[in-house]
Structure 1
Amino acid sequence: MSRFNIHVLRDDGTSAILHYDNQTSALTWADGAAVIPVEAAVFKGATVVSSTQSGRKGTVKTLKISLGLLCNYECSYCSQRFVPRADQTNPGDVASFLDALTDALIEPPERIEFWGGEPLVYWKTLKPLAECLRERYPQVRFNIITNGSLLDVEKNDWLDRLGFSVGLSHDGPGYHARGADPLDDPEKRAAIMDLWHRLQPQGRMSINAMLHADNRSRAHIQAWLQERFGDGVVVGEGSFIDPYDDGGMASTFKTPRDHIGFRSLAFKELRLGMASKFSIAHSKIQDFVRSIKSARPASALGQKCGMDRPDNLAVDLHGNVITCQNVSAAAIAPNDQPHNIGHISNLQAVKLKTSTHWSERGDCPSCPVLQLCKGSCMFLEGALWDAGCDAAYSDNIPFFAAAIEFMTGAMPVYIEGDFRSDRKDIFGMVDGVPSAKVAHKIIPIAVA
Structure 2
Amino acid sequence: MGNFLKRHVETVFIMLGNSCNMNCVYCLQHPLVHQSLSSKVNPEIYDFIEELSKENGERGIHLQFYGGEPLLYFSVIKEIVSETKRRHIKCNYSTISNGRALTDEMVDFFNANDFPVTISWDGYHTKETRLFDVFSQSVLKERILRLKWLGLSGVISSRAYPMELLTAFQAISDEYEKMHGYKVRINLDAIFDTGIMEKSLLDVDYDRVAREMHEMATLYLKASLSGVQEARDYTKLVYIERFFQQLRDFYITKNGAWNRYTAPCGNGFTVLNLDVEGNLYPCHNTSEKIGTIHTPFFSYMEAVLKGDPTMRHREKCLECPAVSCCKGGCKLVTDKARKETYCKLKKALAVPVIQAFEEYGRRMGGERDGT
TM-score (norm 2): 0.81
- Following superposition of structure 1 onto structure 2, how do residues 170-209 of structure 1 map, counting pairs within 5 Å? 170-176=121-127, 177-195=129-147, 199=148, 204-209=149-154
One-letter identity of the residue aligned with 1:341: I
Shift of 1:253: 2.9
- Out of 200, 213, 217, which is 1:266 matched to? 213
Question: Shift of residue 96 of structure 1?
Answer: 4.1
Task: Please state which structure has a larger fraction of its residues in strand.
Answer: 1
1:1-54 Cα deviation digits (max 9, x unpaired): xxxxxxxxxxxxxxxxxxxxxxxxxxxxxxxxxxxxxxxxxxxxxxxxxxxxxx
Q: Does 1:277 align with 2:235?
A: yes
- Cα distance, 1:138 vs structure 2: 4.9
Distance 1:210 1:227 in 2: 17
| 1:247 equivalent in alignment to 2:205 | no
The answer to whether the Cα contact below 8 Å between 1:209 and 1:237 also exists between their aligned partners in 2 is yes
Unaligned runs of 5+ in 2: 221-231, 365-371
- 1:63 is aligned to 2:23: no
C-alpha spacing 1:184/1:260, structure 2 compared with 1 (3 Å) = closer
Hey, what's the Cα distance between the residues in 2 that align with 1:357 and 1:275? 36
Separation in structure 1 between the aligned mates of residue 23 and residue 9 of structure 2, nearest angstrom? 32
SS at match of 1:363: helix
Q: What is the root-mean-square deviation of aligned Cα atoms in Å?
A: 2.7
C-alpha contact 2:280 2:293 (8 A) present in aligned 1: yes
- Contact conserved, 1:253 with 1:391, CA < 8 A, in 2? no
Query: What is the match of residue 143 of structure 1?
Result: 94
Supply the AA of the counterpart residue of 2:84. Answer: L
Distance apart, 1:400 and its partner CA: 1.9
Partner of 1:238: 188
Normalised by the length of structure 1, the TM-score is: 0.68
Secondary structure of 2:41's aligned partner = helix
Match of 1:375 among 322, 328, 349: 328
Other-structure match for 2:352: 398
Cα distance in 2, alignment partners of residues 263 and 114 from structure 1: 34
Identity of aligned residues (%): 21
Q: Deviations over 1:131-153 (max 9, x none)?
A: 21233355422111011111122
Residues 58 and 347, structure 1, Cα contact 8 Å, conserved in 2: no
Q: CA deviation at 1:316?
A: 1.1
Structure 1 Cα separation of the partners of residues 348 and 185 of structure 2: 20
| 2:308 alignment partner, SS class | coil
The one-letter code of the counterpart of 1:299 is N
Picking from 34, 59, 63, the partner of 1:112 is 63
CA distance in 2, matches of 1:358, 1:249: 28
Distance 1:228 1:100, change over 3 A: closer
Within 2, Cα distance between the matches of 1:358 and 1:282? 28
The equivalent of 1:346 in structure 2 is 295
Alpha-carbon distance in structure 1 between the residues aligned to 2:115 and 2:287: 24
Equivalent residue for 1:313, pick from 263, 268, 272: 272
Q: Which has the higher contact order (CA 8 A, sep 6+)?
A: 1
Q: Retained in 2: the 8 A contact 1:175–1:181? A: yes
Contact 1:173 1:224 in 2 (8 A): yes
* Partner-residue secondary structure (3-state), 2:318: helix
Aligned partners of 1:172 and 1:221 also within 8 Å: yes
Q: Does 1:325 align with 2:277?
A: no
Q: How many residues align?
A: 333
**Structure 2 residue aligned with 1:355:** 308
Q: CA deviation at 1:159?
A: 0.7
**Which residue in the other structure is 1:34 paired with?**
none
Partner in structure 2 of residue 77 of structure 1: 26
Within the alignment, does 1:95 sit opposite 2:47 as a pair?
no
